[in-house]
Amino acid sequence: MELQGFPLPDNCPEPGSCIRVERPEPGLVVVVLDPPHRSLAVLDAPLLNDLQQVVHDLAAEKDLKGVVFAGREPLQFAAGADVEGISKLTDRNDALKVVRFVHAIFQQIQDLKATTVAAVGGAVPGGAFELSLSCNYIIAANDPKTRIGLPETQLGIIPGWGGSHRLPRRVGIPGALDAILSGRLYPARAAWKRGMVDRLAYPERLLEIACEVAMGRKKIRRKERGMGKWLVDKNPLMHAIIGNKVRKQVLAKTRGFYPAPLVALDLVLGSLGASPGQMVEREAEAVAELATGSVCKSLVSIFFVSEAAKKYARGHDDFRPRKLQHGAVIGGGVMGGAIASSMAEKGLNMRLIDLSRDALDAALVDHAATLEKKSKRRRLKPHEANAALDRLTVSQEMDGLANAEIVLEAVAERMDVKKSVLQNVAAKVPSNCLLATNTSSLSVTEMAAGLPRPERVVGMHFFNPVRKMPLVEVVRGEATSEEAAIEIAALATRMGKTPVVVKDVAGFLVNRLLGPYLDEAMRLFVAGVDPAHLDQLMLDFGMPMGPLRLLDEVGLDIATHAAQSLHAAYGERMLPCTGIQALSSEKRLGCKTGWGFYRHPKGKKAELSSDLSSFQQEDSARNLSDQEIQDRMVLSMVNEAARCMEEGVTQSVEDLDLATVFGMGFAPFRGGLLRYARSEGFASIVARLEVIANSQDVCNRPGGREKFTPAPWLRENA
């Protein structure tokens, strides 16, 4: 019986070619996942069809003693389920068929009379781990590349191939909930300590030990949970207490926008009181509902475009980026220090240069504190933390650059200062050294003018805070080479960031889109909308924080400067509201001074300032509906995004959407700014923009009508 409803890959292989069956000795079978159409096995339709046939044949063998499931290499087991296939499932019945088909295979593996062992290593996410859970034992390669877990909730679905009931039976309800709701991929040793795998083995001995266990020549003593198994797993009262507590935590984190974690919670809590057959149907129904829903489709779309960004960073057949070893950052402020620290942590020998000794000392203290915290949390081994500490050196002189392969400037946001720094650096570094700028708005093209080899000058725009924000804008000036852009993208990926290549325009992409959004929020506030309600509406929309709270985070002085830069570049439609200047003062710049729209007492929750009503100059917006208020803020971004598409600021709509999610926190469950617009219908977006553009208060303000008149790109797509 072949799998129906699961889309086939474009390069579909011949039936029977995805599995190798080896027989090292009588009674032992090694089932090797080795699809010819994939560099790493994926549980797609061809492989699942072949696996079903192999397991069916093994079930008929009478003298079978042991079966080992392995990858083609010790650190290449399988990359989980076929996410692309899942993304193409639109029919609920097809999704049900897929889940039931896979469950039947895994149940057959569990029912084999032989001892079954999964020999896993490298990436073992989702469906690959669920395949392993159907075996009697799991042996993992003890190697840093091994990562094991169930990340399905991060893609808007649940572990639907047995993970929701097999993992709780193996590790208990609390451990299973932690693994499934976090979506974390655990290192091999952490997975072993949690009971997710039964034994560790060095990669070179993984298959050998797995075969010994399968044949009964090596014994494994599975971790016992003791009294916890009876006090928690068999106790309905504890289930209710755990469920109530975890549900509150999930809702606090997701605000109800993501259904998968709550569905997974119910499945895990009910798993130990249900039969395997009942759990199969529950998981199938859950997957069918979630996989065909909009949230899953949005999250999967983000996953694919982020993977495409990583692929770009790997280069192509004609050019592969260097693994940079030596670098420097000019400017030891908060941003420059954090960038240099992050690069040193990822293996680069870094030089941090600043005229201020105090700034350098502060950067070193912060670097050491960050590494110590990671070491205590076991995210870094002690020797790794010590090595990273040694890789960052500082200087008040422009020295130590003779071997630099990249120098990034993070000095004051002034063109004359940046050009002077880059000219000085260019005279001291090798000809193949990349010259990067962390500017948030200034022209990379202008910075490169007059420098030797301007093709190596490229923007590498980080967002604050550097260690937390996942996006890096790779800005290509007019002279920037493709090779330089790829190398910067590769470095960003190495740092754990997601790179998006953007055109050299004022504000680049993210700040250009944030500009009209924050300005519109300011105008609505000045025009009488309650500030608490204003921020709450955008939280309800799915943003991580309200626009006034975000202005405090950015800094009212920085926001004012950015708004003026955008106005200078784009004219009347970007004319800034004067409300921020009225509000801000030397002591009132947002989080950095402890006071802006909000009061920010140390160690306490921020609260709106009590004097905000005195800055509201009129009441023209007080009668707007909640939908109209949201539209004015969100659609101002959508319209500017459409203009960015007309100008080719990003290479695709998907790149723009990725940048909005990773750079400004645009609601991931909506899939990005333009995906949201598409889901609303471009015709609807155009009509709503026209209503705003023609409203009296917008028509009466300079640039208002121009700001909201629908961009041609939107009309064409409508």
Query: Quick one: 438 and 545 in the same domain?
Result: no
Tokens coding 150: 């169930």
Q: What is the pTM of this model?
A: 0.91
594-623, pLDDT tens digit by residue?
999 999 998 889 999 999 999 987 888 888
Among the ranges given (63-77, 214-228, 272-286, 614-628), the one the predictor scored with the smallest mean pLDDT: 214-228
In a domain, residue 414? The reply is yes
Give the pLDDT score at 238.
82
Per-residue pLDDT for 12 more than 90? no
Query: Is 461 designated active site?
Result: yes
Query: Quick one: 93 and 240 in the same domain?
Result: yes
In a domain, residue 114? The reply is yes
Mean pLDDT of the region 216-236? 76
Give the pLDDT score at 1.
60
Query: Quick one: 516 and 603 in the same domain?
Result: yes
Mean pLDDT of the region 89-114? 93
> Is-cis flag, bond preceding 465, omega within 30?
yes
Query: Quick one: 490 and 569 in the same domain?
Result: no
In a domain, residue 67? The reply is yes
Query: Quick one: 44 and 180 in the same domain?
Result: yes
Contact between 322 and 405 under an 8 Å Cβ cutoff? The reply is: yes
Per-residue pLDDT for 327 more than 90? yes
Per-residue pLDDT for 227 more than 70? no
Q: Which helix (H) or strand (E) holds 185?
A: strand 185-187
In a domain, residue 659? The reply is no
Contact between 698 and 573 under an 8 Å Cβ cutoff? The reply is: no
Give the whole-angstrom CA distance, residue 164 versus residue 265.
9
In a domain, residue 1? The reply is no
pLDDT band, very low/low/confident/very high, at 579 (cuts 50, 70, 90): confident
In a domain, residue 442? The reply is yes
Per-residue pLDDT for 229 more than 70? no
The pLDDT mean for the chain works out to 94
Domain CATH for 589: 1.10.1040.50
Query: Quick one: 535 and 496 in the same domain?
Result: no
Give the pLDDT score at 4.
67
Give the whole-angstrom CA distance, residue 430 versus residue 19.
51
Query: Quick one: 398 and 255 in the same domain?
Result: no
Domain CATH for 249: 3.90.226.10
Contacts of 152 (CB under 8 A, 6+ apart): 126, 158, 159, 160, 163, 180, 183, 260, 264
Contact between 425 and 330 under an 8 Å Cβ cutoff? The reply is: yes
Give the whole-angstrom CA distance, residue 461 versus residue 451.
20
**Structural domain that includes position 419:** 326-503
Q: Of the candidates 248, 275, 292, which is a domain's last residue?
A: 292
Q: Of the candidates 465, 487, 503, which is a domain's last residue?
A: 503
pLDDT band, very low/low/confident/very high, at 566 (cuts 50, 70, 90): very high
pLDDT band, very low/low/confident/very high, at 228 (cuts 50, 70, 90): low
In a domain, residue 14? The reply is no
Mean pLDDT of the region 501-530? 96
396-449, pLDDT tens digit by residue?
999 999 999 999 999 999 999 999 999 999 999 999 999 999 998 899 999 999
Mean pLDDT of the region 210-220? 95
pLDDT band, very low/low/confident/very high, at 225 (cuts 50, 70, 90): low
Query: Quick one: 521 and 414 in the same domain?
Result: no
Give the pLDDT score at 324.
97
Contact between 126 and 152 under an 8 Å Cβ cutoff? The reply is: yes
Query: Quick one: 283 and 173 in the same domain?
Result: yes
In a domain, residue 318? The reply is no
Query: Quick one: 427 and 288 in the same domain?
Result: no
Query: Quick one: 81 and 173 in the same domain?
Result: yes
Mean pLDDT of the region 151-158? 95
Domains contained in the chain, number:
3
Q: Per the residue annotation, which of 103, 165, 326, 461 is the catalytic one?
A: 461
pLDDT band, very low/low/confident/very high, at 353 (cuts 50, 70, 90): very high
Q: Of the candidates 503, 538, 568, which is a domain's last residue?
A: 503
Sign of CA dihedral 496, 500, 506, 512: negative
659-718, pLDDT tens digit by residue?
999 999 999 999 999 999 999 999 999 999 999 999 999 998 999 999 999 999 999 998
Give the pLDDT score at 360.
97
Query: Quick one: 46 and 118 in the same domain?
Result: yes
Give the whole-angstrom CA distance, residue 711 versus residue 639.
6
Domain CATH for 497: 3.40.50.720
Mean pLDDT of the region 64-80? 96
